[in-house]
Structure 1
Amino acid sequence: MFFRRKGWLRKEFDDQLVEELIDQKNEWNRQKQLLENSLEPSQEVLYELKVAEAKYFFYLREAKKRTITIGR
């Protein structure tokens, strides 16, 4: 009985991971665009860009580890 539930839970968490991955990619792109449009970027903007990049690559590595495909 538990093994059936395990597959369902895995699918649910994989879907959440895909959503987070897409959201984080959008955030990273937004931060890059903000940096490109800035004449003199502050340290806070650079910090936020690095954080967004690190989060995106973390989610991307996790998706690769779980062998999740986003588009079919």
Structure 2
Amino acid sequence: MGFLRKKTLRREFDEKLTEQLFKQKEEWNRQKKLVEKSLEPSAEVLYELKVAEAKYFFYLREAKQRNLKISRWK
């Protein structure tokens, strides 16, 4: 019984992780485009870009560590 519960929890967490990974990738790309279009990006915008990048790579590392099979790479 405990094994089935663990498998269900893992699947739910993996789905949430996948959603967060794609959301963060979109946010990172949005921040990159903003910096590219700016003539002189402010320090705050550059900071937001670094934060978005760090979050995305954190989620990506976590997905790789959990051996997630992501079928909908964008």
TM-score if structure 2 supplies the norm length? 0.95
Give the AA of the match of 1:70.
I
How many pairs are equivalent?
72
Please report the RMSD computed on the Cα atoms of aligned residues, expressed in angstroms: 0.9
Instruction: Identify the residue that residue 4 of structure 1 maps to in structure 2.
Output: 4
Measured after TM superposition, the shift of residue 69 of structure 1 is 1.4
Say whether 1:33 aligns with 2:33.
Answer: yes
Stretches (4+) displaced over 6 A: none
Q: Structure 2 matches for 1:1-72, cutoff 5 A?
A: 1-71=1-71
How high is the sequence identity, in percent, across the aligned residues? 71
- Stretches of structure 2 lacking an aligned partner (at least 5 in a row): none
CA deviation map 1:8-60 (0-9, x unaligned)? 00000000000000000000000000000000100000000000000000000
The 2-side partners of 1:21 and 1:44 are apart by: 23
